[in-house]
Amino acid sequence: MQKTILFIVGIVFFIVLIGIGLYYMENYSGIYYTQIDNTKVEKLNTSDNMKYEYTLECYNQDGKSKIFKFKTSRELREDAYLSLTIKITGVNKWEEVMYDELPDKVKEKYN
């Protein structure tokens, strides 16, 4: 009887872990878009190449917003639009994009 209860508790724990993992994969992965605001950059005192950290509001293709932090080696061009590739650990990479490349729901946020 005790082995059966432990087995059931183990299965429930495993299912909960999978649910948490799926939640984070859904909410912390994908492509987000933002516009550079150099008033929201912090100069870091580090010995590595990443000297600046941005904290910006970003939008996914559906217009849902999240705040993300990411580091750069230089200050970025004011008002530039970026496409951010987000993984579970945060911003994996970024690249500058043109306004016309933004999804329609994201364009609505910047009008």
Q: Is residue 16 part of a domain?
A: no
- pLDDT, mean over the chain: 90
CATH number, domain containing residue 91? 2.40.50.480
Look at residue 70 and tell me if it is in a domain.
yes
Confirm whether 83 is domain-assigned. yes
- pLDDT score, position 28: 64
Please give the angle made by the CA atoms of 63, 67 and 72, to the nearest 5 degrees. 115
pLDDT at 13: 92
54, exposed or middle or buried, with CB in 10 Å at 0-12, 13-18, 19+? buried
Residue 5 inside a domain? The answer is no
For residue 56, is it within any domain? yes
DSSP string, 51-76: -EEEEEEEE-TT--EEEEEEEESSPP
Under a CB-based contact definition with an 8 Å cutoff, are residues 63 and 105 in contact? yes
How many domains does the chain divide into? Answer: 1
What's the whole-model pTM score?
0.74
**pLDDT greater than 90 at residue 1:** no
Q: Is residue 105 part of a domain?
A: yes
DSSP symbol at 49: S
Average pLDDT over residues 78-92: 90
86, part of any domain = yes
